[in-house]
Amino acid sequence: MIALSLGEIASLIGGKLHTTEMASADTIVSGTVDTDSRSLRAGDIFVAKPGEVTDGHRFVGAARESGAELAIVEHLVDEPIAQIVVADVIEALAVFARAVVARVRAQGRLRVVGVTGSNGKTTTKNFLARILSDEGPTVAPIASYNNEVGAPLTMLRVTDDTEYLVCEFGASAPGEIARLAGLVEPDVVVELMVGLAHAGGFGGIEETAKAKAELIAAAKPGGTAVLNLDDPRVAAMAEPARERGLQIVGFGQGDAEVRATGVDVDAAGTSFVVEIGAERIPVRLQVLGAHHVGNALAAIAATRALGVGPADAAARLETVEIAERWRMQPMGGEKVRIINDAYNASPDSMAAALRTLAQITGPDERTVAVLGAMSELGESAGDEHDRIGLLAVRLNIQRIVVVGDDARRLFLAAVGEGSWDGEAVHLPDAGAAFEYLRDELRPGDRVLVKSSNSAGLRFLGDRLGESFS
């Protein structure tokens, strides 16, 4: 964070400062701002976020013991640490982030990229960060810091030297992207795709599209909108982008300014050619899956708008080994290969992962899909689990292991489609699945582990990876 006095911070966020003998209004802080007391170091700032399970105010003392200089709270806590009392710490966090980014932008160096989409946000922000970090000091989200807490915490990591800020914007309800992106007014906005992820919170895919388009409305006038022209709902955002005064750059595998051809996926990675005008750039990603081609195109197009040569961008992307932990992460050993992709799941990402499993498995190898529930789909949950079960059979996945009661419809659909002779099994939980797979898996198996975060199968993937390493 930039250096600010405790008094300045109190003024910026509209709170009342309570000092101590060790910290006055003139005390300068420039450390990290965080809601996790365990992550703090000397000079950091602790935000006491109330939560559904616990209350951050209980950990103000732990934050002080870790070295925090300041706590932002909703009520004074009996601990010898400087505190700023505000009415709402989440709102204060947003106001704080807006103010800090505005101060750095006023110096004229900082440019902001905002990314949204139903799938691919985290991979794309990692691609962007890899490309831009070679251009200058870059701040990007840790993991999937893309909500009302994570996005402002990322913004508050900028310093006076930061040249690029990459923001990932997720949402589970209308208005969230508008509120978060409005804190920074991105110079470049990236719209990846509109799918059924979190559709239950929006009321359907058309409402989801409207929510994703909020990023367009929050962009800095005169900036650039990078749009996935392979997705008709994203392509339709071109008109509001023009009305906003944005330059439009399309990407995709069809008729687009930044286009991919010759896509090929194997067990070692993903190859394609980027075409921009007369330029042809071969790319060999280490990241598995044809669905990551669009994410790479988006990163190349967005950084091109910031002045990075596409050939340089492509070369940097080739050094990325995995998209993120638990996202198409190769594990296991030579005999049994595990792909742990269980950080999150939507119908689109589930289908893409299953297709990748089928593509990378040789004729003498066996496909095994370990599948859990897809969450936050609302009324469409049953039909979408049915669809994935049918797809798994039609892709000739040879073992379909369905875990948990919430995914039972997927199992029943697979059985109904023809996987009734032991090819599909249903197990109650991850523990039972591990015991089954430990005995079932054999040399030559390629195993996909895929579910939403709430199903917890990412830890099952870790156990399998360790067991077969």
Mean pLDDT of 185-196: 94
pLDDT mean across residues, the chain: 94
- By the 8 A CB rule, do 240 and 216 touch? yes
Half-sphere exposure of 405 (CA within 13 A, CB side): 0
- The two structure tokens encoding residue 413: 């659909």
* pLDDT the model gives residue 202: 61
Provide CATH code, domain 4-86.
3.40.1390.10
Range(s) of the chain covered by CATH 3.90.190.20: 329-467
pLDDT digits (tens, 9 = 90+) for 427-463: 999 999 999 999 999 999 999 999 998 898 999 999 9
- The two structure tokens encoding residue 11: 């003024």
pLDDT digits (tens, 9 = 90+) for 70-81: 999 999 999 999
Q: Three-state DSSP class for 88?
A: coil
Task: Count the neighbouring beta carbons within 10 Å of the beta carbon of residue 422.
Answer: 7
Measure the N-to-C terminal CA separation of the chain; round to a whole number of Å. Answer: 41
pLDDT digits (tens, 9 = 90+) for 157-178: 999 999 999 999 988 789 999 9
DSSP state of 65: H
Extract the annotated binding site: 117-123
Give how far the C-alpha of residue 102 lies from the chain's centroid of Cα atoms, to the nearest Å: 24
Give the residue among 468, 467, 458, 463 at the shortest CA–CA distance from 340. Answer: 458
Percent of the chain exceeding pLDDT 70 equals: 99
Range(s) of the chain covered by CATH 3.40.1390.10: 4-86
* pLDDT the model gives residue 93: 98
The backbone region for 138, taken as left when phi is positive above 0, alpha when psi lies in -120 to 50, beta otherwise, is beta
Q: Which CATH class is domain 92-317?
A: alpha beta
Mean pLDDT of 382-404: 96
Extract the annotated binding site for ATP: 117-123
* pLDDT the model gives residue 173: 84
Return the CATH fold of 329-467: Protein-Tyrosine Phosphatase; Chain A (3.90.190)
* pLDDT the model gives residue 171: 83
